[in-house]
Amino acid sequence: MLQERPARRRGAGIGQAARGRAGRWCAAVVLAALILITLIRCAPSSVESLPGGGDGFAAPTGTSTSFGISGHTTSPISPGLSAALDLELTNPEGYALSVTALTVSIREVTASRADGAHPCTVADFVIRQPSDDLALVISADATVTLSGLAVPANSWPRVGMLNTSGNQDGCKGAIVGLDYAASGSQVQS
pLDDT tens for the chain, residues 1 to 189 = 333 333 333 434 444 444 454 444 433 333 333 332 222 222 233 344 444 444 444 444 444 568 899 998 989 999 999 999 999 999 999 999 999 999 999 999 999 999 999 999 999 999 999 988 888 999 999 999 999 999 999 999 999 999 999 999 999 999 999 999 999 889 987
Q: For residue 55, which of 30, 90, 12, 96 has the smallest C-alpha distance?
A: 90
Q: Indicate the burial class of 153 (C-beta count within 10 angstroms; 0-12, 13-18, 19 or more).
A: exposed
Largest distance between two CA atoms of the chain: 120
- The torsion region of residue 151 among left (phi > 0), alpha (psi -120 to 50) and beta comes to beta
* Cα within 13 Å of Cα(118), Cβ side: 12
Please state, in angstroms and rounded to a whole number, the distance separating the CA atoms of residues 21 and 115. Answer: 44
44 Cβ neighbours under 8 A, 6+ residues apart: 78
Q: Name the helix (H) or strand (E) containing 126.
A: strand 125-128
pLDDT for 17 equals 47
Q: Report how far Cα 21 is from the mean position of its chain's Cα atoms.
A: 42
Is 83 strand, coil or helix?
strand
Does the model's pTM come out above 0.75? no
Q: Backbone phi, then psi, for 96, in 5-degree steps?
A: -70, 145
